[in-house]
Amino acid sequence: DAGVIQSPRHEVTEMGQEVTLRCKPISGHNSLFWYRQTMMRGLELLIYFNNNVPIDDSGMPEDRFSAKMPNASFSTLKIQPSEPRDSAVYFCASSSTSGRYQETQYFGPGTRLLVL
């Protein structure tokens, strides 16, 4: 299994630009999570989906952030417009609601975002 795949791995952009982060969950997993990690705030859950439906987006910091999951194998997290304080590592994780390791979250390698 390829695990959770995220792209790009690194992104450097200028303030005001749109940023799109992509995630492919583990095949067969039906839950997907977006996290943000910074030195100051640690690991924060932004939003999670179950069966492609957003369940809890209370962690999304502002309207500049949006997330979609058009199908079971793809999700995007968009920041528009981006700001320097959005600089962080963004992780995607997925889990399954069935099976021996149900609900255990498996993380992708992360996207390191730097907004200048």
Partner 1 sequence: GEDVEQSLFLSVREGDSSVINCTYTDSSSTYLYWYKQEPGAGLQLLTYIFSNMDMKQDQRLTVLLNKKDKHLSLRIADTQTGDSAIYFCAERPGGYQKVTFGTGTKLQVIP
Is 82 a binding residue for partner 1 by CB under 8 A? The answer is: no
Is 107 a binding residue for partner 1 by CB under 8 A? The answer is: yes
Which residues lie across from 33 on neighbouring strands? Answer: 48, 93
- CA 22 centroid distance within chain: 7
CB nearer to partner 1: pick between 57 and 81: 57
Smallest distance from partner 1 to CB 16, Å: 28
Is 12 a binding residue for partner 1 by CB under 8 A? The answer is: no
Characterize the bridge pairing of strands 111-115 and 88-95: antiparallel
Length of the chain: 116
Is 55 a binding residue for partner 1 by CB under 8 A? The answer is: yes
Helix/strand/coil for 85: helix
| Options 27, 38, 51, 97; binder of partner 1; rule CB under 8 A | 97
Cβ distance 81 to 55 under 8 Å?
no
N-to-C CA span, the chain? 36
CB nearer to partner 1: pick between 22 and 81: 22
User: Which residues of the chain form contacts with partner 1 (CB under 8 A)?
Assistant: 4, 31, 42-43, 45, 48, 50, 55-56, 91, 93, 95, 97, 103-110
